[in-house]
Each structure stands twice: as C-alpha cells, then as structure tokens.
Amino acid sequence: MFVTQHRRKRQDGSEYRYWVLKRVVWDKKLKKNRQEYVSYIGPGAKPVLSLSKAKAICKKTGLTLHHLDSVKRLKITD
C-alpha cells in the first residue's frame, strides 16, 4: 500500500489537495498491475491519521493496524 496526494481545482481557481491510501492489485483480465483506492485520509501538508480514524479505516477495509503502520509516509498519532 502507498499514500498519494490528489489535487482538485475549485471554481474560484484555487487548489484543494488531499491524501488517499491506495494499493496495487494484479488484474488478470488486463494482465498488468492497477492501483485500487482503499481509503480517504484527508487534507493537509502531510498524511497524518489519528489512532481512532486509523482503527475506523481498518474496520471498514478489513486491514490491521500493522498494515497501516508499514505504509511509507503515513504517520499514525495517538
């Protein structure tokens, strides 16, 4: 799994930046890797999750906290 930053342009021209958690999945039909959306992390300069939000993501997606701890650039705070 990995963390990516996405950007959307608002109508007034300013940018809205937010972080998303993704994973790489092998697609048998296409015979290549593709990126699959896992969860929305939120806006901010760096990808930071509170422990309660990390547990909620784990419960929703079926992951463990160990999986989220091993993601590069993602910080989980108490």
Q: Report pLDDT digits (tens) over 30-73.
A: 999 999 999 999 999 999 999 999 999 999 999 999 999 999 99
CA dihedral (19, 25, 69, 55) positive or negative? positive
Position 78 scores a pLDDT of: 87
Range of the domain at 38: 2-77
Domain count, the chain: 1
DSSP string, 11-65: TTS-EEEEEEEEEEEEETTTTEEEEEEEEEEEESSS-EEEHHHHHHHHHHHT--H
pTM: 0.85
The reported pLDDT for the residue numbered 62 is 94
